[in-house]
Amino acid sequence: MANSTAPTPATPGALVDPLLNHGAAFTQPERDELGLTGRLPSRVLTLEQQAQRAYQQLEAQGSDLAKNVYLEQLHDRNETLYYKILGEHLVELLPIVYDPTVGEAIEKYSHEYRRPRGVFLSIDQADAMEKAFATLQLGPEDVDLIVCTDAEQILGIGDWGVGGIQISVGKLAVYTAAAGIDPHRVIAVSLDVGTDRESLLKDPLYLGNRHRRVRGADYDAFIEKYLRTASSMFPRALLHFEDFGPSNARRILETYGGTYRIFNDDMQGTGAITLAAALSAVKVSGVPMRDQKLVVFGAGTAGVGIADQLRDAMIRDGASPSRRPHRSG
């Protein structure tokens, strides 16, 4: 029987760290300096050549979910190449790394789990928040954006517990590929407060807290602790909230919007885009915003945010503040 304490061949750190790994694109001087001599095929490829091969491998995947998994594996292996592929094929790959395919990846997160990405904060270990962030070894000036979710209302698929971390990861990938935000200055966060989905609670492989969602005062205290900790450790960062349930999303925004640098994408981002479209329609129709009759189909977080912004715009245009929607469809 082999000795379990026997040494095993080492893998150079530059091939393990996705931020450092260039794969076959490491030049010969870089290979010598980083201890990679003999650990890579002899030919040095350009980033463009690597991207061509990686895209061919991506196209060979049999389904959108398989493409999502392939891209995540590439993300974990070589971040430079990942963003090269995503940036060059952004329109094609947005539905793969984000909605709708990310929804399927979230549903299967605990069964497809390979490598953690982001920070997982548990309501059962709320006092460990600062320690968890400290493992990133990032200073107060090193973070520009933190995207968090409690995964209560993921896209159109509802509560998927800890798997919701993928929505934070996917959102940040889109921000980098589409808007050029530095991927080294962002953090994805899961706020694990439990789940009400029976299939997850009964799943022996589920990776999150195996209890019902915590609500009420304990939930609010957890959110406040997160805001206080994140803003204290990373004072430059925008604290972005993603896919919270409508009641929590609105309450958090109204309670802390004047104290912390927070942004709710569903309520504010989606609402702003919809309002812009409505204002353009007003210009075309010639009917003032205050006289419009608007219907919002659905009263989820985004629907509520849209209704709030449309109502506020109508009031600014002279409508009576008492003119409120009677029903949500």
Q: Is the pLDDT of residue 301 over 90?
A: no
Q: Could you tell me which residue, 290 or 145, shows the higher pLDDT?
A: 145
Q: Is the pLDDT of residue 328 over 50?
A: no
pTM (predicted TM-score): 0.86
Residue 220: its pLDDT value, please? Answer: 98
Q: Is the pLDDT of residue 151 over 70?
A: yes
* Cβ count near 1 (within 10 Å): 3
Query: What confidence tier does 2 reach under pLDDT thresholds 50, 70, 90?
Result: low
Q: Counting beta carbons within 10 angstroms of the beta carbon of residue 303, is it exposed (0 to 12), middle (13 to 18) or buried (19 or more)?
A: buried
Note the pLDDT tens digit of each residue in 154-174.
Answer: 987 899 999 999 999 999 999
Question: Which of 118-127, 278-287, 303-312 shows the lowest per-residue confidence on average (mean pLDDT)?
Answer: 303-312
Helix/strand/coil for 78:
coil
What amino acid positions are annotated as catalytic residues?
A: 98, 171
CA distance 109 to 100: 15
CA distance 83 to 13: 21
Domains assigned to the chain: 13-97 (1.20.1370.30), 116-260 (3.40.50.10380), 270-316 (no CATH)
CA distance 194 to 209: 5
Query: What confidence tier does 3 reach under pLDDT thresholds 50, 70, 90?
Result: low
CA distances to 213, 224, 269, 317 from 256, rounded to whole Å, are 22, 9, 17, 27
